[in-house]
Chain A
Amino acid sequence: MGVPLYCTKIAKRFGREVEHEGHSHGMHVFAAPPSVVVDLCRFLKDDPELRFNFLSDICGVDRYPQTPRFEVVYHLYSIPLKWRLRIKCRVDDPPRVSSVVGVWKTANWHEREAYDMYGIVFDGHPDLRRIYMWEEFEGYPMRKDFPLRGYKDTYNPFGEEKTETSSSSLSDDQDNNSSQPGEKR
């Protein structure tokens, strides 16, 4: 099969900024820092020889206790050329990345999901609200420090009691959230 065209093209355009992380599950993986993710995505979509015109998924990963703690993973597909490709982007705590809604509109809900579950803030997202959980929900359930059974309340008598540390880390998160636009409170 040899090296696919997009590998050479990415290497040529972005040099050392975007690292090739190997090949797994039929996909080449690239690691990009948050600053170039949007440029990389736009390049992959708009280049007439690559045409990655479909964003199949964006998901978050919590790598606690590693640093940088969070990771945003983009899965792309080129419908005309039948190529798949994965971009990984490590972000610090509190996590912030630029939104790719401007590149693929479908990123809107994927980013809302990552925000809802991991608290990853996407700068420039037109409407960053929770998508699964209700607005008043506290915390980000897929984070590793979120209790598996949630917090105790009337509907969930088996949940964990809220402790000092957990509630303070929650309020920290809330402070981070209230400073970003598009959040309705």
Chain B
Amino acid sequence: MGILENRFPDNVFFSTADSIINWSRKSALWPETFGIACCAIEMIATGCSRYDLDRFGIVFRPSPRQSDVMVIAGTVTKKFAPVVRRLYDQMPEPRWVIAMGTCAITGGVYNTYAVVQGSELVVPVDVHVPGCPPRPEALMHGFLLLQEKIQKSHVLRRHDPESAMAG
């Protein structure tokens, strides 16, 4: 969006334009095919035919350059944290992050020398999905929450602190 982003006032034209842009963004969330530990198995199950993420327009993409959601599905070790960060940096904006499972949220049971105590310390996280592992329904709920968040975001309109607080 570049120079047009967050430049315009809140009026009928721009809020309608924003809702169209947000609708199109939230309807085609493409997560990376990227799993780190056991949670990834549940993420794969969510993508397969029984739970079928495709019906939300969520299609896994093999490259960070083509995706706009990163599901951190698993334990982020300190050794792997730079890779997570690099994958995040390679994604084009707008981009979102879902931290899936207690390991990704807080380090979970692995309060040890080798595990990052919360992927928030590595990349900014939009939605936390608790569970060990979260069931596919929980991950789908996480995606729906993310869609809600996207629908509320300001694209062309300026960020207004008051309305942001109300939202």
Contacts and interface: CB of A to CB of B under 8 A. Distances in A.
Contacts of A102: none
Contact of B111 (A132, A146, A151, A158): A158
Nearest to A156: B117
Interface residues of B, number: 12
Contact of B78 (A149, A155, A158): A155
Given A149-B113, A155-B116, A158-B111, A133 B79 contact: yes
Interface string B105-123: 0000001111111000110
A154 interface: yes
Interface string A148-185: 11110011111100000000000000000000000000
Interface in B113-143: 113-117, 121-122
Given A133-B79, A155-B78, A150 B121 contact: no
Contact-size category for A: 10 to 19
B121 A154 contact: yes
27 contacts: A132-B114, A133-B114, A134-B78, A134-B79, A141-B113, A141-B114, A147-B113, A149-B111, A149-B112, A149-B113, A150-B112, A150-B113, A150-B114, A151-B113, A154-B121, A155-B78, A155-B117, A155-B121, A155-B122, A156-B113, A156-B115, A156-B117, A157-B117, A157-B121, A158-B111, A158-B117, A159-B113
Nearest to A146: B113
Nearest to A150: B113
Contacts of A149: 111-113
Is chain A's interface secondary structure helix, strand, loop, or mixed overall? Answer: loop
Interface string A34-68: 00000000000000000000000000000000000
Interface of B: 78-79, 81, 111-117, 121-122
A151 B117 CA distance: 12
Nearest to B76: A155
Interface in A120-146: 132-134, 141, 146
B121 A148 contact: no
A146 B112 CA distance: 11
A183 B15 CA distance: 62
Nearest to B115: A156
Contacts of B79: 133-134
A1 to B, nearest CB: 42
A173 to B, nearest CB: 15
> Top 9 nearest A-B pairs by Cβ distance?
A150-B113, A155-B116, A134-B79, A141-B113, A155-B78, A155-B121, A149-B111, A156-B117, A158-B117
A64 to B, nearest CB: 17
The residue among A133, A151, A156 with the most chain B CB atoms within 10 A of its own CB is: A156
